[in-house]
């Protein structure tokens, strides 16, 4: 969306992955659930520090806005001692687990496999998955999408259609054949098969209400962060839908 805002002629065709995000606290934290975290934060004399790996990532948006929805004051200003939670940019996935062991932060939100690895190393504990956050707002919150330059759509629509079909077939296999997918990915990704088998990622290109609502939340969050300075500046989500989304190729598929 930021690329389209800046004038890149690109369309989002479909989701490819959603969910799979968890909130992880330091192993000895005095709370074990999201609700307990909220109550704990309210009682502290100074802000607790929470991390994210990328400024416009789904884990950052989930963590910040779930905390705000729960009534906490969230800030990025480390001198804001009136805040309940101060958010810290950890600048990369590789810094998530070290940030807990070094006590740079006491919790973060991150994607598979980092929460599971934190638990396996006895450095952190998962206190909430997306399904466990209040209100049901974050179920299957989108992570990644299939995007294409519109020149390709105009000049090679049959290629785009074939790519959407292949991507859908692959993701259907990954979603429904978790054991075989874990076996195939374990060596390639260097991860334990158990983590890959048991993660809560949804692999799908289906255009669901969860996806549409999640993209709206994304857009509104990015608007609040002043991430749009071009064509989308000052516009509501409904005003930009036709500009950036093209679901026609996914909708052309049957029985998928």
pLDDT in tens, the chain (256 residues): 999 999 999 999 999 999 999 999 999 999 999 999 999 999 999 999 999 999 889 999 999 999 999 999 999 999 999 999 999 999 999 999 999 999 999 999 999 889 999 998 999 999 999 999 998 889 889 989 999 999 999 999 999 999 999 999 999 999 999 899 888 888 887 777 887 777 788 999 999 999 999 999 999 989 988 889 999 999 999 999 999 999 999 999 965 6
Predicted structure pTM score: 0.87
Cβ–Cβ < 8 Å for 195, 112? yes
Separation of alpha carbons 57 and 39, rounded Å: 26
Phi, psi of 147 (to 5 degrees): -125, 155
Cβ–Cβ < 8 Å for 1, 218? yes
Q: Domains (ranges, CATH) in the chain? A: 2-18+140-251 (3.40.190.10), 20-132 (3.40.190.10)
Placement of tokens 């929460």 in the chain: 115
- 3-class DSSP assignment, residue 29: coil
């Amino acid at each position: 969306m930021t690329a389209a805002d800046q004038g890149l002629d690109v369309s989002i065709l479909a989701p490819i992955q959603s969910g799979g995000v968890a909130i992880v606290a330091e192993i000895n934290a005095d709370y074990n659930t999201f609700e307990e975290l909220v109550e704990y934060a309210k009682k502290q004399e100074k802000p607790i520090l929470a991390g994210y790996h990328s400024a416009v990532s789904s884990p950052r948006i989930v963590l910040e806005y779930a905390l705000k929805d729960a009534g906490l004051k969230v800030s990025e200003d480390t001198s804001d001692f009136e805040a309940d939670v101060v958010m810290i940019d950890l600048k990369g996935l590789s810094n998530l687990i070290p940030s807990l062991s070094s006590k740079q932060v006491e919790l973060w939100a991150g994607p598979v496999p980092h929460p599971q690895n934190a638990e396996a190393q006895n450095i952190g504990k998962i206190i909430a998955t997306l399904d466990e956050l209040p209100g049901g707002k974050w179920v299957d919150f989108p992570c990644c999408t299939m995007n294409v330059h519109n020149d390709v759509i105009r000049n090679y629509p049959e290629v785009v259609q074939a790519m959407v079909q292949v991507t859908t077939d692959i993701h259907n296999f990954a979603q429904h054949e978790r054991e075989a997918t874990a076996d195939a990915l374990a060596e390639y990704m260097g991860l334990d098969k158990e983590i890959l088998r048991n993660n809560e990622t949804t692999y799908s290109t289906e255009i669901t209400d969860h996806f549409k609502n999640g993209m709206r939340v994304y857009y509104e969050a990015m608007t609040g962060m002043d991430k749009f300075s071009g064509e989308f500046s000052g516009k509501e989500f409904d005003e930009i839908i036709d500009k950036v989304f093209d679901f026609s190729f996914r909708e052309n598929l049957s029985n998928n």
